[in-house]
Every structure is written in C-alpha cells, then in structure tokens.
Amino acid sequence: MSFDVDLFVIGAGSGGVRAARFSAGFGARVAVAESRYLGGTCVNVGCVPKKFLVYGAHYSEDYAVASSFGWTSGKPQFDWPTLIANKNREIHRLNNVYRGLLENSGVALYEGHARLLDPHTVEINGQRISAANILIATGGWPQVPDIPGREYATTSNEAFFLKEMPRRVLVIGGGYIAVEFASIFHGLGARTSLLYRGDLFLRGFDQGVREHLKDEFTKKGVDLQFKADIARIDKRLDGSLTATLQDGRVLETDCVFYATGRRPMLDDLGLENVNVALTDKGFVKVDQEYRSSEPSILALGDVIGRVQLTPVALAEGMAVARRLFRPDEYHSVDYQLIPTAVFSLPNIGTVGLSEEQARSAGHQLKIFETRFRPMKLSLGDFHEKTFMKLVVDAVSDKVLGCHMVGPDAGEIIQGIAVALRAGATKRVFDETIGIHPTSAEEFVTLRTPLPA
C-alpha cells in the first residue's frame, strides 16, 4: 500500500519538530500539523517566556545589589506591558525560526487541527492525508481542579499575556510552575501567596532543597501557606476575586494562578477511530520504542506523561526518527540521571537521586552539604544563601545525586550531570581543581560528611 507520507506528526512542539526534521533528514516524506503555535508549550507558554519573566523578576533584587557596588540611579520602575511586548516579539521571532527549520528540512507544514480518521489517515483543513506512520506529539494542557469558580482561574496559558500585572496573586500548587510563577509575581512586585495542599512544596525533590527554598521564599516575603487549598473562587463587582479555602478562610486577590499539573492534550483527536490505549492517568500508553497499541501510531513528549521536560521530548524525537528511518542507529532514551532546573528565585538545579530516594533504594550514604552567602551579595546587607549537597554511596564512593539552590544552579548542574553520567566518584570530585572564586568550586571542596 502506498501512502502520501512516511510520517505524519501531529503537534509542532519540541518533540514533534525534532522527530519531523530528523526523519526528513533521513530521507523520509514528512508532514506536520499544528493547530496553535509553532514551537509548542516550551516556546510559547513555557520554558522560554518563563525564563524572560524570571530574568525580569530578578531585576528587583539586582537593583539593590548594584547599589552595594556603588551604583545609584532613580527609583526603579517596572512596566509589565513593556516586558510582555518585548517577550512577544522575541517569541514571534522564534515561531518563525521553527517555521524555517521545518521548511528548510523539507517537512510539509499544515496549520490547522488534525484528527485521526483511521490508523493511517489524518484529516486536516478538510484534506485527507494517508501516512505509513503517525506520531502523536500534542503535548499537555494546564489542569485546574473542578471547583466552583474555576473559570476565574488563571493558568500558565494566560499568565504570559495578562494585560496588567496583578497587584495581589494567589499561586496554587507546589510543583515547578507554582514556585517559578510565585517567584515571578513576587519579584515583579505583586503581593504573592503560594498555597500548597501538602506539608512542603516540591514533592520528590531532595528534602534539603525543599527546606532551603522554603527558607529563602520566606526571607524574601513570599507568603507560604502549606496544607491549604481552595474550595471555591468568586468574583466581586469590582473585578477582584475571593478565594474560599477548605478551612473556611476567605482570601482577597486579583489573580488566582493555578499550577496543579498538566493533562495530556488529546481533545478531538479522533482517538475513537483507532486502537490507541491510554494509561490510567489518560496519557498515551507507549512501549520502549514509543509505539502505541495501534502499530502505525507512535507518541512522545508530554502526551505520554513520562518526563515532562523539553530536552527529554527532544531525545524522544530523535529516537523515534532513528527507529523509523535509521534503525541501525537507534538507541533508546536513558531516563536515568536527567538533570533539571527549577527557575524559582533562587534557582534550583538537580541531578541524580535525592537523599530520600537513595536511602529507600538501600544505599548507605555519606552526605555532604554547604550553605553560604554568594560572594556577589557580600558587600551589602543581603541574606540569601546558596545551598549545595552531594549524596554519595558510602560503599562505592559514587556520587549518586547533586543538588543546588542558588544563582545559576541550572548552569552549574548541567556540567555536574556529565560527571555523574560518567560515573564520577567523590574522589574524582575531590581531585578536580576548583575555579576560584566561584560558587561551583564548592562542589569539589566539600570535605567533611554530615554526621551519619
């Protein structure tokens, strides 16, 4: 049977574009459908604009630090519309970069909503296209709990386009997006509360990291409310909102920002026409080679719900392209030791096992920790501290995990991740010469383990 294309990709986000471009580069005939924006969540309503807003938010502290180095200027003023307009301009440029990448690699781009008609046919803009393989790379979508007034909630999809900066914000959730946006809103001047339903945010991260970020947020004046959750949201005549908590308290605010996880985006995809099984959480179920239960249909990225990170989707996209069109070069994605950063203020960077994970995996451990004031803050009356931690196997001396909270944590941990992948022991860390004076050198000068 002959098909119009060898691969039809639904979704031009990080993973979909990577799979499409590399497949085309391997000689396949490839088409991509995108109904919203080229580059997907990461480029449009995720990593990229988030980082611009985090940079913007940090200036409130940078101005204060600059004065400790002798710089003075008028009272700093922040203008939200300027930041959003400049961010939008840059994102627009990146959308066009993605368009160019697809066009230059010979991928046919269809802008519209694609639906599956059968295991080998997609319909888009009234046109039917047959494909030997179809890749679902439709990503995720913010999930807001079903509470009265949920229509008044703001999610990361809308927050990047707010016309005005809210004066007061309630951030709901305790994951990546919640702590990043709490930092953004607080840094840009909003009175910010973070409400998390559990005892301490960032479940799954090393306890030391979680405690340290809690302390830093508290010092900065972010109002942290743990064991708190919203029962309903109401809008008042003046446009402001009230949030009634489950414990009966009522909080007034201008914005209720929900960051309570993301669901797979499978709306109106025509899944009823194919035999694609879903996991109990509704993600597309795939095997080790990203095949769904329908042999011609594959899936990757956030829609499979494994690790919702852009670089992971990119690796999965490469793997899919190779498996389909360069099987000799195929190797599976290794999900161990994925480094990650949370762009809260201060940043978190982490790779490998947390102390808790390492203990429950049965390792005997040596733990090395340090807390110190970053050098840049030592000329003024600043109290932010950096936290660094190594989790080391006491028997093999292997470094199992490396965690940091402090400026540029992501930049530092990226390099450390290479060492951990190479199987570095604590001795290798000790024998590495530091770069002085940096914060990163602390990772190679930690001498004394915490008492066991």
Nearer to ligand NDP, 179 or 274 (CB): 179
308 belongs to the binding site for ligand NDP (CB under 6 A): yes
Nearer to ligand NDP, 175 or 322 (CB): 175
| Residue sitting closest to ligand NDP (CB) | 175
Nearer to ligand NDP, 349 or 401 (CB): 349
Residues in contact with ligand NDP, shown as a per-residue x/- string from 118 to 157 under the rule CB under 6 A: ---------------------------x------------
**Which of 30-38, 254-262, 381-389, 436-444 is the region at the interface with ligand NDP (rule: CB under 6 A)?**
254-262
Residue 205: CB minimum distance to ligand NDP, A = 10
Residue of 36, 262, 322, 403 interacting with ligand NDP (CB under 6 A) = 262
State the Cα–Cα distance between residues 402 and 414, nearest whole angstrom: 11
Strand partners, 291: 298
176 belongs to the binding site for ligand NDP (CB under 6 A): yes
Q: What secondary structure letter does DSSP report for 340?
A: E
292 belongs to the binding site for ligand NDP (CB under 6 A): no
φ/ψ (deg, to 5) at 33 = -110, 140
Query: Which tokens sit at 387?
Result: 């936290």
Q: In terms of residues, how long is the chain?
A: 452
**Which of 15-23, 195-203, 274-282, 439-447 is the region at the interface with ligand NDP (rule: CB under 6 A)?**
195-203
340 belongs to the binding site for ligand NDP (CB under 6 A): yes
AA identity, residue 204: G
Q: What secondary structure letter does DSSP report for 204?
A: T
State the Cα–Cα distance between residues 442 and 136, nearest whole angstrom: 44
Residue 183: CB minimum distance to ligand NDP, A = 11
Nearer to ligand NDP, 40 or 175 (CB): 175
173 belongs to the binding site for ligand NDP (CB under 6 A): yes
| Omega cis (within 30) before 346 | yes
Query: Residue 147: which residues within 8 A CB-CB, separation 6 or more?
Result: 230, 231, 232, 233
Q: Which residue has the tokens 């990361």?
A: 156
Residue of 261, 270, 374, 449 interacting with ligand NDP (CB under 6 A) = 261
**Which of 17-25, 194-202, 293-301, 359-367 is the region at the interface with ligand NDP (rule: CB under 6 A)?**
194-202
State the Cα–Cα distance between residues 428 and 438, nearest whole angstrom: 19
Contact 252, 234 (CB under 8 A): no
Nearer to ligand NDP, 154 or 260 (CB): 260
Nearer to ligand NDP, 141 or 429 (CB): 141
Residue 203: CB minimum distance to ligand NDP, A = 4
SS (H, E, C) 273-331: HCCCCECCCCCECCCCCCECCCCCEEECHHHHCCCCCHHHHHHHHHHHHHHHHCHHHCC
Tell me how many residues contact ligand NDP (CB under 6 A).
23
**Which of 68-76, 191-199, 268-276, 283-291 is the region at the interface with ligand NDP (rule: CB under 6 A)?**
191-199
| CB contact burial 109-135 (16+ within 10 A = b; e otherwise) | bbeebbbbeebbbbbbeeeebbbbbbb
Name the helix (H) or strand (E) containing 224: strand 223-226
Identified catalytic residue from 58, 212, 331, 436: 436
Query: Residue 420: which residues within 8 A CB-CB, separation 6 or more?
Result: 337, 351, 352, 399, 400, 401, 402
Residues in contact with ligand NDP, shown as a per-residue x/- string from 74 to 113 under the rule CB under 6 A: ----------------------------------------
Residue of 203, 249, 383, 427 interacting with ligand NDP (CB under 6 A) = 203
Residue 24: CB minimum distance to ligand NDP, A = 28
Site residues for ligand NDP, window 4-33 (CB under 6 A)?
none
Nearer to ligand NDP, 322 or 403 (CB): 403
Q: Which of 196, 135, 184 is CA-nearest to residue 160?
A: 184
Query: Which tokens sit at 389?
Result: 């931690």
Q: Which of 20, 21, 25 is CA-nearest to residue 7?
A: 20
Nearer to ligand NDP, 262 or 363 (CB): 262
Nearer to ligand NDP, 31 or 312 (CB): 312
DSSP 389-403: EEEEETTT-BEEEEE
Q: Any catalytic annotation for residue 436?
A: yes
Contact 14, 314 (CB under 8 A): yes
**Which of 53-61, 93-101, 259-267, 377-385 is the region at the interface with ligand NDP (rule: CB under 6 A)?**
259-267
User: Which residues sit at the interface with ligand NDP, rule CB under 6 A?
Assistant: 145, 173-178, 180, 196-198, 203, 229, 259-262, 308-309, 340-343
Annotated active-site positions, please? 436
